[in-house]
A and B are shown apart, each in its own frame.
Chain A
Amino acid sequence: MRRAAGEQQEGAQVRAMAPASSPSPSVPGPDAVQPVLDIRGLSISYRTRSGDVKAVVGVNLALHPGEIVGLAGESGSGKSTLAYGSCRLLRPPAVITEGSVTYRGRRVSPEGIAVLRQTRTQLRALRWREIAIVFQSAMNALNPVLRVEDQLFDVIDAHLSMSHEEKRERASSLLDLVGIARDRLRSYPHELSGGMRQRVMIAMALAVDPEVVIMDEPTTALDVVVQREILSQIVELKERLGFSVLFITHDLSLLLEIADRIAIMYAGQLVELGTAQRIYRFPAHPYTRGLLNSFPSLHGPRRELAGIPGSPPDLRSLPPGCPFVPRCSFATDACRQIDMRLAPIEEARDPSHLSTCPFVLPDKQLSTSASTEGHQQ
């Protein structure tokens, strides 16, 4: 059940609860370090006249320090809603109905901050300083009537107190960081190319040294060559500055290269979670397999491409059990009764590789070839 809300500071009505409904297996990360961003049992709905659209349903996801976690799925799968919801950037009709989001940065107390319970003022201090976002369309995200420097100054002013000279110095070094000439500080966004605008967005996200950066399709509108430059720059900056990245995209081939772990989202739920290696070599969930099979590969032998038949489900009336059933070639009657829970597929081999599908496991032959490659525990 949903309650219309206690705290209404931030547009979206929030009713933060303890991770009550889902004592699901806490997601084990690559090591035992406390996650810097911990999303537990998060559910978000859009209230519409024709019923609630359940955009995110009970998602558990942890982002560890220095890690790049990829979030992949089709449009409408809820990946952006999840990311924006976890820093409270959604407005009504979006409602966070359940769950908790805990932020544990170096600058905050060790028990962390419950993001969903923050007041408006507390949120202001948290956003951008601790959790920054690189938005999808740089042309729309930058203010067209302000120079680049003024937009950078705005960010710095909001969080740090600096003299004008210090600000200018910081803004210049930010542009150095992303590989743009310093004299571009005086430029307006329309004077920059698409790739440069996206770099300015990245510089702006890093302006006050955040610990978590959410990147929402940062390279979708760009050319492959520019895309690759920006991606390698993101990886390099991450190594240097030590932030963590939640990387949202529908392009799985990109994620396989850049992400440490990948979460696959379908109809508002995580259906598979694992390291990039595991997701690529031993995909378990039929939807993940479909995604992997739907992009043409440039290198290696020509594969038979299959794609995913059908279209995404209507989130207002999801059938019971697995939402992927109508499009799944492995589907049986039992699939309509399963409880959508992420569970380890091959406990022995990799306990962090989780899938919601209890029936379809990584191909046997793949698994055996894995052990010859030295994958055994």
Chain B
Amino acid sequence: MKSRQKLVRWLGSGVVAALAASLLITSASGAGRTASTTGRIPRLSNGKPDFSGIWQTTSAADYDLEPHSARKDAPPGQGIVAGGQIPYTPAALEKKQKNFAARNTADPRLKCWTLGTPRGIYYPEPFQIFQRAQDLTLVFEFGDTVRTIHADGTLHPVDTDHEFWLGDSRAHWEGDTLVVDVRDFNDQTWLSRAGDFHDEALHVVERWRLIDANTIDYQATLEDPAVYSRPWNIEVYLYRHREPGFRLIENYCYTLDYDQFYPVPRS
């Protein structure tokens, strides 16, 4: 809980507002290289962009967020981290390297645990967004995972010691961009199969934007002073599944370990 206390102190110091402002600037500069919105995008009746649909990345981000050549257990990828490298503190980098070495047994994904935020977004299985004016509901095919992004003006809970797997998500609109502030995490999730990690002080600011009717430009800024020396940014595109009849198929994969114990009885 040390890191938790640290965060609380940090919040109390009022530093966070200034930092958040700087994050937005960083993030906005990162956005400079993305295409502007083209063509018509779907909208709700209130005029806000409508993200409803089934989405999935085509990137290799979940294998490794940083640029990497092919490995036996990962296709190559250019990475999705702005600047290429995650700015780990020296101690955290050591831990990441240990995680990397143990990745084929230690990745929480292998136990089918909830992937967390943002990993669930760029994990290579589809998720479906259901959207109302007041919230977005993200149903992930992988695991028993439903994430609500509140867009009704409510604030993070006063009690900030919940330690959610997915964080607590509160959003507002900046033009056609949905900006989501996510905090109050536990430290049980990884960010990739390469052992990238965070602790409970993780704070994620996501920026969701439709660049055309079938493509979401997803950006996120991650900060966690116990693990990273500065905030850092990722950006990945999500593509709409348009195959006729495509639908989410439940994958409560943690049940597969005991599936063998539940044969359907027969006469």
Are A and B part of the same complex?
A: no
